[in-house]
Amino acid sequence: MTRAGARIGVGTHFRYDGEAVEVVEMAATTAGNEVVLKDGQGRLLRLSLRELLFSDRATLIPKETGPSSDDAEEIASVVLGQLDEEGRRQILERAEHIRELLTGYRSGSTELAREGEPRAPYTPTLSLDARYAAKAAELGVTDRTIRRWVADYRRHGEAGLAQRASSQARSFGRADDRWVQTALEVMVEHTGESKPSRKIVIDRTQARVIARFGPDVVPQPSQATAYRVLTELERRHPLFRLSTKRNRDIAGRPEGQYGKLRPTRPGEYLLMDSTRLDVFAFDPLTLKWVQAELSVGMDWYTRCITGIRLTPVSTKAVDVSAVLFQSFRPRPAGRDWPRHAVWPEHGIPRTVLVDVEAATGPGLASPPLVPETLVVDHGKVYVSEHLTSVCRRMGISIQPARLRTGRDKGPVERYFRTLREGLLQVLPGYKGPDIHSRGERPEDDAFFFLDELEAIIREWTAAVYHCKPHSSLVDPGLPGLRMSPAKMFEHGMARAGYIEAPRDRDLAFEFLQTKWRTVQHYGVEIGRRRYSGPGLPEPGIRSPYDSPVKNGWPFQVDPDDITKIYFRNPTTREWHTLTWEHAPSAEMPLSEDALTFARQLAASKYRFPDDRLAVADLLERWNLGLGTTIAERRMALRLSREQAGIELPTSEEETVVSLPSVRKALGQDEQNAELREPDVVTETGDDDEADLEDLAGEDDFYADALEDV
């Protein structure tokens, strides 16, 4: 029987420095045990036993071959672990028969003898050949089979009785290896193409095999075997079962082991990404459904969402800068938000401070922090000059992700999926993640305006997402503990200390777009709009800037509110607000897109329109549009109230419907206010069509209605 160890003594052979040597003497001295080695030429070498055993220069040559790491045989736990319960029971029963044959007892020991043992045919006094014949007759097998079982049992124990698959057996049956490799080659070539059928892959494989090796050289497998080969190759390179997009993602995986950045503190890495939402919303200009795009910023260490921006159709560079600015200066929380969803004004976790209640205002919607590194993709808005200049000004480094590698921003991609499954799919207007999941007419249910939808997402993130434990948020010291993003932020503060965010009141101006214009006697003209106001330099003063426009000055422009622009005096470093000449006609913030839409309307109605006429006509259209569609919106609100009154089957829908932003958008807060305060006369305008007729000519009604736009 082989042993895992070997005896070291006189006569033991070693390979020392590449030569075969033999131990001829062992002696114990005051310096320790020593050995004398003799090589093939009769030369002697004395060295310590410790050096012989632990030196890399010496290798033992045992007389008996014992197990080693390069053995072809598997260890017993691997062999037995591949058996099911029935197979393991058969192996144990066969081992009992072998022990009874060798010792007369099924347990192999006289101390554990069962009743009636040893049986007469297996008495130890009988010859081994007689016992072999008796056991073969009992089990109904040949004597040769019994002898093979005994040899396997003596060599490997119970594991030797298990059926071991041949290491040379091929995984593809009788298919030729050359045909299999060619089929895999054809499958890899279809990675970037449309999904083929298995038949066309088999035909192309056969044609390539004939062209490469010649006819009748490589045998063509049968149709059933070829289909089995493709099924086995599907595990290596998916092509037929999954979608083509998923197959391309799998094919684009790195060859080696996965690696990733490992944040150690809050603010070390800020992930930013945009996605098209799977829900429709209402455009306040045309009152038609539009597709919305969501841009978010996420702290990688805590998974906290630090910035949210919802835009119609597509995202611009200024929108991304607005998301980044929310990390420095978070948006205020809603006054009706639950307390656990509100962050203190100063951003420190509420468990750190004692005087949390002393904070003024409703609190913050997200934790403020200063990002050190911005991880973005190669989208046009993320590599724009505007965002890079803002990051350079704030001392933030930008680390682009790899091209078409969404896993580099895995946490924020997972947030988008959680948002879709936890919130969007229970909102009206949900259209599914792809065209195959879309309903018949999901746009008929869309009645949320963009600002309402953004408020709902912001509140759901603060009240649900930040407070729900995540499986990926763990402390290496407590691997079984699952923490929420809010708790992880507290953990990070205790681990890394509080990160102070800049509190410059004029910080927001640096996140706006910069337009270079000259100063004229009438002011500044940007996009056919003229601005003027105090603090504007005189027309004759030479600009100290080396601008792309001759004698140009920098002006900060907000595309979402073009009624004002901002200018900083290069001498005093003070910011000044310049007002558009037609701003009094708007009486509300007006975006660049809204003005463009107004000009198109005016050009279709008037021969010589101007901006004042265009804005006035746009406001009239807003009033008329809101006035004529309120009835339709009321019906949608009533229907949503009826649907919300039904007990929903899942807790996620109950959580979403209970959000104050959703209740406010659905009109449930007004209905509950009427039930709570019956004596107070309130002007709702959303439940009574008679009230609509009475208030149709009053300006205050439309002013209140436009507050949602």
CB atoms within 10 A of CB 246: 11
- Which of the four pLDDT bands, split at 50, 70 and 90, describes residue 709? very low
Distance CA 226, CA 691 (A): 75
430-449 average pLDDT score: 71
Dig out the tokens for 357 from the structure: 């209640």
Per residue in 547-592, pLDDT (tens digit) is 888 889 999 888 777 788 899 988 888 889 898 887 766 555 566 6
600-622 average pLDDT score: 56
Question: 549 and 543 in contact (C-beta within 8 Å)?
Answer: no
Distance CA 387, CA 324 (A): 9
**pLDDT of 591:** 62
Whether the pLDDT of residue 702 is over 50: the answer is no
* CA quadruple 277, 279, 280, 281: dihedral sign: negative
Distance CA 245, CA 250 (A): 9
Residue, of 280 and 298, whose pLDDT is higher: 298
Per residue in 253-277, pLDDT (tens digit) is 766 666 667 888 888 899 999 998 8
Residue, of 385 and 269, whose pLDDT is higher: 269
Contact partners, residue 20, CB within 8 Å, separation at least 6: 13, 14, 39, 40, 61
**pLDDT of 703:** 39
**pLDDT of 206:** 92
**pLDDT of 404:** 67
**pLDDT of 620:** 53
The per-residue pLDDT of the chain, averaged, comes to 75
Residue, of 196 and 508, whose pLDDT is higher: 196
Per residue in 132-152, pLDDT (tens digit) is 999 999 989 998 999 989 888
**pLDDT of 202:** 93
| Burial of 322 from C-beta contacts in 10 A (0-12 / 13-18 / 19+) | buried
- Of 56-65, 426-435, 554-563, 641-650, where does the model show the most confidence? 554-563
**pLDDT of 501:** 57
**pLDDT of 327:** 84
Whether the pLDDT of residue 249 is over 70: the answer is yes
How far from chain centre, in Å, is Cα 431? 22
Least confident of 8-22, 524-538, 605-619: 605-619
Question: 429 and 662 in contact (C-beta within 8 Å)?
Answer: no
pLDDT over 90, % of the chain: 9
202-224 average pLDDT score: 90
Q: Order of strands across the sheet with 58-61? A: 44-48, 32-39, 19-29, 13-16, 58-61
- Which of the four pLDDT bands, split at 50, 70 and 90, describes residue 628? very low
Whether the pLDDT of residue 645 is over 90: the answer is no
- H/E run at residue 485: helix 485-496
Residue, of 696 and 231, whose pLDDT is higher: 231
- Which of the four pLDDT bands, split at 50, 70 and 90, describes residue 350? low
90-94 average pLDDT score: 89
Per residue in 163-211, pLDDT (tens digit) is 544 333 445 667 888 999 999 999 989 888 888 999 999 999 999 999 9
**pLDDT of 701:** 37
Amino acid at 312: P
- Which of the four pLDDT bands, split at 50, 70 and 90, describes residue 692? very low
Least confident of 54-58, 292-296, 583-587: 583-587
- H/E run at residue 310: strand 305-312
- Which of the four pLDDT bands, split at 50, 70 and 90, describes residue 668? low
595-601 average pLDDT score: 60
536-543 average pLDDT score: 86
482-491 average pLDDT score: 88
Residue, of 646 and 164, whose pLDDT is higher: 164
**pLDDT of 297:** 93
Question: 465 and 340 in contact (C-beta within 8 Å)?
Answer: no
373-384 average pLDDT score: 84
**pLDDT of 688:** 40
- Which of the four pLDDT bands, split at 50, 70 and 90, describes residue 690? very low
- Which of the four pLDDT bands, split at 50, 70 and 90, describes residue 632? very low
- Of 33-37, 204-208, 344-348, where does the model show the most confidence? 204-208
Residue, of 637 and 436, whose pLDDT is higher: 436
